[in-house]
Amino acid sequence: MANRVTLDDIAVAAHVSKSAVSKALNDTGQLAAHTRRVILKTAKDLGYRKPVSMSAMHRHTGLIGLVSADLEGRFATPALTGAENTLGTTNHAVLLTNSRGDPKLERAHIDQLAARGVDGLLVLGGETDVRPPIKPNTALGIPIVYVYAPSSNPEDCSVTCDNVSAGRMAIEHLLGHGRRYIAIISGPEHYQATKDRLAGARQAVEHAGIRLAAPTRYGSWREDWGRTATRLLLESDVHIDGIYCLNDMLARGAIETLHDWDLRVPEDVEVIGHDNWAVTATECRVPITSFDNNLQEIGRRAARQLLDAIKGRPHRGTTYIGCSLIVRKSTSA
C-alpha cells in the first residue's frame, strides 16, 4: 500500500509552509487566493485524501467567471449577451469582471473568481488579435474558453469570427454585381482583423483573375480616413466602381467623399463596410451594406463549449463563426 500523503509532503511539493497547507485544506486563516489554489491543486495531484475543501473542489457551484478586456466596447456586449443567455438556460450564473486589457488585473480577477469556486472561465477580448494563453499556474485546472481574441496555444479552446471568409465574400459580392475595378480602404495594418479580411479579399481577387484597381490604403479606423483615402483614390485618376472598406466608419467616410465628387452610390460606385454597427451603417447618407460579426453567436458557442469542458468533454483549437452579409442600399439589390 502506498504511503499516506502528509501535510509535510504537500508543503514540500507546493513550496509553502506546513501551516499554509493546513489553512488551505481546512479553509481557515488568512491566505492569498492564488496560494490556496496552488496548495489544493498540489494536494489533489499527490492524492491527498478527504480534506473538506478538497471535496469542495469537485463540487460544481453553478458559477461561471467572465473576464472581459473591455466591457464598454461595442464588441463585448453582444458576445456577453449571447453567453449569458446560453448559461441562463442551464441555471448557471455569471460573475463578471473587467480587466481593461491589463494582464496583471486579469490574473487578479481569475484568482478572485477561483476563490469563489467558479466552474469555468470565459475570457473575452476586445479584438480578434491572438493573445497569450493564461499560464497554467494561474488557471490551475479551471476550464477556460477564449472568446473573440483567440489563444495562441492551439491546444486551448477559442471561439472567434471568420474574417477571412468575410473578406472573400465582400469581393465576391461586388464581382457578382459586375464590378471589376475594386479598391480597398483599411485601418491599421497590424490588426489581425485587417490581415484576415485582406487575405480573404485577395483570394477572391486572384480566383476571379483580376487585380485590385489600386494598392490597399492603410490608415486609422475613423471616418475621416475613409474620406481622405477615397479622395486620394479619386485624385489619382484610378477608375473604381467598387470599394471594400474594412469597417463601417471608413465606408461612411468613403460615401461622403463620393457624394462630394458627384459620384452616385451604388450606381457609379458600390461600397461595402464591416461590423454592422447600426449607428454607423444605417444612419448615414446611403445605408451601408456590411458584415455582422455574429457576436451573440460567438458568445453562445463559447458558453456551450465551456459547459462541455466542465462536463469533462473539452474542445481544442479555434472555432470560427461565419460573418453575415447585411445588404443595404450602398450596393445594388
| 178 compared with 54, residue with greater pLDDT | 178
Q: Is 55's pLDDT higher than 60?
A: no
Q: Is 51's pLDDT higher than 50?
A: no
pLDDT on residue 25: 78
* 163-292 and 63-161+295-322 share a CATH fold: yes
Residues 6+ positions from 294 with CB-CB distance below 8 Å = 161, 321, 322, 323, 324
Between CA 80 and CA 227 the distance in angstroms is 33
Give the pLDDT band of residue 48 (cuts 50, 70, 90).
confident
Residues 6+ positions from 190 with CB-CB distance below 8 Å = none
| 331 compared with 20, residue with greater pLDDT | 331
- Take residue 112 and report the three cell numbers written for it: 478572485
pLDDT on residue 56: 47
Q: Is 289's pLDDT higher than 80?
A: yes
- Take residue 140 and report the three cell numbers written for it: 490551475
For the residues 154-161, what does the mean pLDDT come to? Answer: 96
Note the helical H segments in 116-241: 136-139, 163-176, 192-208, 223-235
* Residues 306-328: tens digit of each pLDDT: 999 999 999 999 999 999 999 99
pLDDT on residue 77: 87
Between CA 309 and CA 331 the distance in angstroms is 43
Answer yes or no: CATH 3.40.50.970 is held by domain 163-292.
no
Q: Is 151 helix (H, G, I), strand (E, B) or coil?
A: strand
CA dihedral sign of residues 267, 271, 276, 281: negative
Between CA 103 and CA 4 the distance in angstroms is 39
Q: Apex CA 18: angle with CA 17 and CA 22, to 5°?
A: 120
Q: Which amino acid is at 149?
A: A
* Residues 89-118: tens digit of each pLDDT: 988 999 999 998 899 999 999 988 988 889
pLDDT on residue 266: 97
Between CA 220 and CA 146 the distance in angstroms is 27
pLDDT on residue 78: 92
| 135 compared with 136, residue with greater pLDDT | 135
Closest Cα to residue 222, out of 254, 258, 190, 263?
A: 254
3-state secondary structure 65-127: EEEECCCCCCCHHHHHHHHHHHHHCCCCEEEEEECCCCHHHHHHHHHHHHHCCCCEEEEECCC
Give the pLDDT band of residue 34 (cuts 50, 70, 90).
confident
* Residues 189-200: tens digit of each pLDDT: 999 999 999 999
Question: What does DSSP assign to residue 42?
Answer: H
Domain ranges across the chain: 1-42, 63-161+295-322, 163-292
pLDDT on residue 46: 87
Q: Which amino acid is at 269?
A: V
Please, is 240 exposed, middle or buried when counting C-beta atoms within 10 Å of its C-beta (0-12, 13-18, 19+)?
A: buried
Q: Is 173's pLDDT higher than 80?
A: yes
Q: Is 297's pLDDT higher than 80?
A: yes
Answer yes or no: CATH 3.40.50.720 is held by domain 63-161+295-322.
no
Closest Cα to residue 187, out of 122, 234, 247, 271?
A: 247
| 266 phi, psi to nearest 5 deg | -100, 0
For the residues 272-297, what does the mean pLDDT come to? Answer: 95
Cis, peptide link before residue 133, omega less than 30° from 0: no
Q: Is 28's pLDDT higher than 70?
A: no
Give the pLDDT band of residue 52 (cuts 50, 70, 90).
very low
Pair 332, 174: CB distance under 8 Å: no
pLDDT on residue 304: 97
What is the average pLDDT score of the chain? 91
Highest average pLDDT, of 112-121, 216-225, 272-281, comes from 216-225
Closest Cα to residue 248, out of 150, 149, 170?
A: 170
- Take residue 44 and report the three cell numbers written for it: 489533489
Give the pLDDT band of residue 59 (cuts 50, 70, 90).
low
Residues 6+ positions from 47 with CB-CB distance below 8 Å = 2, 5
Q: Is 253's pLDDT higher than 90?
A: yes
| 76-85, 143-152, 206-215, 261-270: the lowest-pLDDT one | 76-85
β-strand partners of 151: 131
Percent of the chain clearing pLDDT 90 (strictly above): 70
